[in-house]
Every structure is written in structure tokens, then in C-alpha cells.
Amino acid sequence: MSADEYAASILPQLTLEEKVKLLAGADMWRTNAIPRVGISQIKTSDGPVGVRGGQFTDGVTAASLPSGVSLASTWDPGMMDEISKILITECRSKSIDVLLGPTVCIPRTPLGGRNFEAYSEDPFLSGKLAARYIKKIQEAGIATCPKHYAANDQEHRRFFVDANISERALREIHTQPFEIAIRESNPWSLMTAYNKVNGEYCSANKHLLRDILREEWGWDGVAMSDWFGTNTVVPSVEVGLDLEMPGPVKRRGKHLIEAHKQGLISEARIDECATRMLKLLHRVGKSTIPDWKEPEEKAVDLPEHREIMRRCAAEGIVLLKNDQDILPLKLCQGMRIAVIGPNAGKAVQSGGGSSDLVPHYRTTPFNAIKQAVGESGIEAEVSHAPGMLSHRYLPLMDPSVMRNPVTGESGWALSFWANMDHEGDAIYEESRKSSILVCYDTLPDSLTTGERYSYRGRTILTPKTTGNHSFSLSSCGPGRLLLDGKVILDIPRRWWSPKSPLFMSYGSPEERVQIQLEAGKEYELVLDSVSREPEPYEFSFTDDLLREEIQDGGRIGFFEENTKDLMKEAVELAEKSDLVIMVVGKDREWESETSDMVSMNLPGESDTLISNVALVNKNTVVVNQTGSPIAMPWLEQVQGVIQAWYQGQEHANALTDVLLGQVNPCGKLPITFPRIYEQNPSSLDYPGYNDRVVYGEGIFAGYRWWDRLHIEPLFPFGFGRSYSTFEYSAVRVSSNQLRFSENGSGIIEVQVDVTNTSSVAGKEIVQFYISPKTAPRLSRPTRELKGWDKVLVQPGETVTASTTLDWVSVAYWDDKRHEWVVDGGATFEVIAAKHSRDLGVAVEFTVDSPAADIKAGRFTVVA
């Protein structure tokens, strides 16, 4: 039985109440079951860099994968297949039916806190990679959920901001990756964005959801809200938002039933959404197991998965500078290597927010480099100095200094009361591994009713050193931190602050205090807190509603006093070393969902540290771990620069492979690196005014902007060096005329010869850009990426790279005609290039010129 047949057979059996029940979540990650007709719960999970499972903090370990921007840096669809194998296994080990990814929004500003999740500033590259990811995972019977539709490209005021975008820019840039993914791989679900687009929330945006997604693209999958991102009752159902997440239900349920009774919405509209939910249930195999019991989540750490992640991470690394061929490292007997920087001794696997998970294991650059050098057989000294502190918030408590007073193991005891006064017996207790005590995804059903409750976290703290140590607290509701019964921090009211270190910004700004403590002495540390008071709001069936959430919890930071001059220590180590590997960047505190970054600069004194080290040691290589572009005021002072992104649990091993030449770097930038922030087009109107952002760059997003204004970026889109060198020649097309049939078919194949002119085998990513040679009817970018090919070339060998051009390669959106248009008779140049600013080698072709306008499938050829 097909999904359509199943839905058609079950829908008449459902009551109105049961249909409505399908349209909202049951809890944080699951939908509602209807056992009477055999329907089980669907379980969802984030997402972009791994499968976390059903618990946001302290859950079962999971594979931590390279971030989206790193995957895009591989420019390798085959690598997406390999990564998908891991995701499929991880989903099955945690009983996940819908994987909440990939993230395909276009990163518009280099300050975007969530840029690392997304693939690229180019919609063609993003869409093609997303399509491959979706196809492979859904072949295994697991749904994907590309997000966030559409224009969710800044975290600042994301719940309220209105993105004002021209129709042409909306079609050519911001919805195009979704359109490519839908046309090529048909994702079974899709997630809407929090923000507004042109005045309407995305969760109830008729133009986005009904006009484009449903009617024009003909998509029949489930459109779900982002978590707590449903802003209406009736309008969202009217336009085709099928699922409100998470549960327990906020907007729908009894409210939707009452709206139907009042004649505000027809049962036919409810049936449309319920039908799509039934199709999804069938597709993921949850339509015929009424008594399905969810098994415990498992951690599956496989050697073959480690190998894939290591290889994928290495191929995503981008070599930006390599003066004097300082890389790969030439090890020699007695060599002294200094591994310096705040990220050198840390396992920085990912940015923060929805991407958070507990990895199967962690690796650090210093340990990986030291181990690899030791295994090389060459006696060399590898030393480490952090050089500075770079934490944005006080770090979470080290597992080695805390003890759960109930279990005796590292961690906290967390207890809950069904009152606001911690009175009587606790109704629920659990153990937590970390000092971020987020409550909302582990609460028992009795505490998810909206009634307020209290909770208490307890641990025994044993400092390693004596000193004036720092504590911090951020709390969603009123909270107090007590040390041996004495209140040391008190947050008297609820907060919702973008400066909060708690997820989704549902907490207070971090409060800090310093206390003198003794090494080895035990102290009782207690967090007493009360759940947040819900925000009152006026309810309406038809108008936008204010947000009302139940998220609660607290975050406790602890940092022992540091009395060392870390900068001086690092510079002295650099001065007596033969080579310096500087590992800098950001982490989940600085680059995260819920808040954008304040600048393109590295945190704290990072830039000063790099300059000071480079002054005493010219043989300095900088390794940068970020998901977004950074400023590099020290670029001319150092010999080498590597963009290492966030690479997951294998990041340090992959980095070491590239540094020592075990892997020849082949990654290329999927985003442009500006010289200064003001070069970026979003700087004209970011973060907007009065919750309104005008996308003034229009269709000239990303590298198109730099081309348009003839600005030289720091590093252009598509740029990346190798330990090999390559030359392009003999570019050619299969035909010098592109003709289209009535159904829109018609292609040209482009080929170019690539010669490896070095003595090292390497992979080259050949990019094919289209550039108009005759004046277009409407203004167009100087060049646009419309294909690429990744080829392995042996020393002295010549291989052929190729791509295929079709109507998408030459079409543009005409917002007056409201359709995709191709200019008949237009001449184009296809350029095979190493990056977006490379002159490359080019060949021309012409679009066939009709006598009159011809409707050819999804576009029109204009005479």
C-alpha cells in the first residue's frame, strides 16, 4: 500500500479530535499516537551535526560530525553519502523517525550565530548537497527535515524580525536551495523559520507555504514549525503548516477544535494537514504498530564511522596560506614544535544550540599532534601553552571536581516538586552529568501542564587548588546558588535575555561571584530554583500570538583562579621553538544558536597573541576553528593559515593528518571571507531597525556582491590551496547552442582538462561559472556557480573535469512576469575556474532563439 492509499483509507476513520491530535506534538520530540487505528508516535531529533536523541543535555553519546559549512567545503556529494551512512545508524540506535536537518538557509552576515550549521552562501551548492543528504537518508526509511524555510539567517530578534526581500531575491537566493532539494530528492518534511518574511510569520506565510511550496512546487510533505515557532491557530493550518512542535500543544488542540465550531476553519483544511501527517507516518513505518514501545537509546561507536568522519573532516579543511611551503611539516630529529592557543588543548567540536550533543569521544589538537609526531619515529619535542583564556561564560564545572551526593559519581542530583516552595517529598529525581541543568526535555508529564514547580540541584564540590575561585549562575526562573548553605548568587525574577548562556536565551545574563576556597576541601553546592512564570497574552484564533514557553533550568559555571601570565608563557615557548602551530577560533559559547556574534574578530586577546608569537617566531601556522569568516589583522605576519571549521569528534586527528601531509588538503571555501566586516552587503542593514531588515543586496548575495562592486575580499568564494598545483586547459562544450524542448529538457556538457604540475597527487575542485556576454533583459550577477567537479589527479597526469548545464544554469526570476525566464538568443560564457575571482578558462555558447515566447516546462524562453 502506498502512502497516498494508506492516508486515504485511514482519514475517514478518524474523528475530528483525532485529526487535530495529529497536528501537534505530544512532548518535546514526539508526535501523538492514535493506537485505535494503529498509529504510533513519530520521534524527531536534531540534527545538523549528529543525532542527539531525545534528551537535550546529558543524553546518550552520539557521533559528532563535521559541521555543515565544513561538509560544504569538501564539495563532495559522495562524502555526503558516507556521512549519511553514519546518520542512518545513529537514527536507528536512538529510534529516530525524522532527522531535523539539513540546515540550508543562506548565511547572509558573517556575524550569524548559526552560520556553521548551513552549507554555503551559494544557493546552488547548498541545494545540491542538501539533495544528496536527503536522498540517501530517506532511502533508509528515515525522514529528513530541511530547515529553516525561509531566510532564517540571523539570530538577533529571530522570533520577531521581518525580512523584507524582493521577490526575485527570494526566488533566486533564499528559496532556491529548498527548491533544488525538493525537486531532486522530495524530503518528507520541512521546517519553517521563526522570522517573518515580507510581513508574515513563516509559519503562517501564505506566499511561502501555499503559493510556492504547495501549489507551484507541488510538494506533499509535512511542513512543521520550528520549536515554539507556531504563532497562530487558524492561519497556520489554512496555509498548510501541518505540525506544531513541540508538545504539549500550545496553539492547536482544543483551540483548533473550537475555531472549527465557530466556523473559522473548515474540516477540509484540517483534513489536508492530517492527510500529509498520515503519509509521513506511513513513510517512516509508524502507521501499523499501535503498541510500539520505544527502546532505550544506544551509543553506537563504530571504527568504520570514525574513519569516515576523520576523512570527511580532513577533506573539509581549507588551506588558505602556505608561504615557503611551510606545510606539510618537515619533521627532523630534535625539532621543537610549540602548539599554542586557547583551542590547542580543548576539544572544540561544534558551535552551540541545536547542534549540541555528547560525543562518543573527544580529541584535542595538542594531544593528536604529539601522538602523531611520536608515532613518526622522529624524536621531536611537542609542547603546549594556551596563551590566554577565551571563555565567553565561566566554563561548566569540570567532572573531576563535582560529586553527586546520591550516587557518589561525578555530576548532580536533580529533584522536582509540584509546588513552588520545595515542600514535601520530591515527585521526581534524576542524576545529571553536567552543571547545565536544563529541565524541559526530561520533565515527567505531571509537570508539563503549565503549572509552576520548583527544583533543586545538589553536588559536592572539591576544588583542585586554593584560591579566589569564580562561580556563575544563569537561571530561567527565580534561582539561588548556595555554597554550604550560604546564598552566593541570587536571581530574583524570570528572564529572557539574548545575553544568557542558556539555550534559546530563556535565562538571565550570567551573574558571577568570587569565593576563596581551599584545595581538597568538600563544599556543598546547591541550586534552588522555581520554574518561570508564563507570560500573559491575549488569545486569538486568527491573529498572531505572543510566544509562551515552559522552558526552565539553570547553568552553573565554575573556574579556579589563574595566577599565571599565560601570554608571556606562550611567547617564551614560541621563541625557543622551531615551529609554532597556533590553534585559535571560537566555540559553542561564542558561535551559537540564539545569539549572533558581536564582531568578526577572534575572542579576547587572540589577535594580540598571534601577533606577539609571530614576532618571535616567523615559522608560525595559524589554525582557525570557526564556522564563519574572521578578520585576520596578523595575516602578513604568519607563514601559514588553515581554516579548520568545527569538525566534530575527529577534528584533531583530521587536522594532524593535513599538517603532517598524510592528507593533501583539497577543501575550498563555500563562503567569502571579507577583509573587514563593512565589505559584506548585510552590513548596510543588519540587524535591522524596529524588527525590520531590508535585504538591500537583492540577488547580489555572497560573492555576487564582491563581483558587482569590484571589491577584493580577503579570500574569495571557492578558494583553497593544495600541496599540489594544477593547470586548466582545453575547455569545451558538447554544443555551442542550448536548445529546449516543450517539456523544458535540453542540456550542454562542459569539459576541461586539469593537469597536476606538481610531484604530489591531489584532488582539485573545478568550479564552473556562468557569465552573460550579451546584455540581459534584467540585471544579472557577473558570474554564478552552476556546476563543479572534484577530480583526483596524479603527478604529471591530465584528467577531464565536467559538468552539465541546463535551463537552471541560464534562467532568472522575472518578478513582473512571475515566472522563471530564459532569454532566447542570449550568449553566455562558461568559465572553468579555481575560485570565484579566478579568470580561469572560458568558452561561449548561445541559447536558441525562438520566433515567439515558448513555455517550456517550469520556465519560459523569451523571444
Q: Catalytic residue positions?
A: 226
Task: For residue 85, give the nearest of 29, 135, 147 by alpha carbon.
Answer: 135
Task: For residue 762, give the nearest of 826, 695, 666, 855 by alpha carbon.
Answer: 666
- Grid coordinates representing 264 are 473559522
Give Cα separations from 705 to 599, 674, 774, 781 (angstroms).
20, 11, 20, 8
- Grid coordinates representing 574 are 614560541
> What are the residues whose beta carbons fall under 8 Å from the beta carbon of 631, sequence distance 6 or more?
599, 600, 601, 602, 607, 675, 676, 677
Task: For residue 97, give the nearest of 188, 231, 201 by alpha carbon.
Answer: 188
Handedness of CA 325, 327, 328, 334 (dihedral sign): positive
**CA torsion angle for 311, 317, 322, 328 (degrees, to 10)?**
-20
State residue 87 phi and psi, 5-degree precision: -60, -35
Backbone Cα Rg of the chain: 28
DSSP class of residue 721 equals: B
- Grid coordinates representing 93 are 540506535
Residue with cell 621553538: 577
Distance CA 390, CA 306 (A): 29
Distance CA 276, CA 278 (A): 5
Distance CA 495, CA 488 (A): 19
Q: 733 exposed, middle or buried (CB, 10 Å; 0-12, 13-18, 19+)?
A: middle
The angle subtended at Cα 809 by Cα 747 and Cα 665, nearest 5°, is 105
The CB density around residue 233, as the number of other CB atoms within 10 Å, is: 26
Handedness of CA 829, 831, 836, 840 (dihedral sign): negative
The answer to whether 737 and 848 have CB atoms below 8 angstroms apart is yes
> What are the residues whose beta carbons fall under 8 Å from the beta carbon of 35, sequence distance 6 or more?
290, 291
Q: Is 96 helix (H, G, I), strand (E, B) or coil?
A: coil
Task: For residue 257, give the nearest of 18, 30, 36, 42 by alpha carbon.
Answer: 18
Q: Is 819 helix (H, G, I), strand (E, B) or coil?
A: strand
Q: How far is CA 413 from the centre of its chain?
A: 32
- Grid coordinates representing 418 are 509540584
Task: For residue 424, give the nearest of 454, 459, 452 by alpha carbon.
Answer: 454
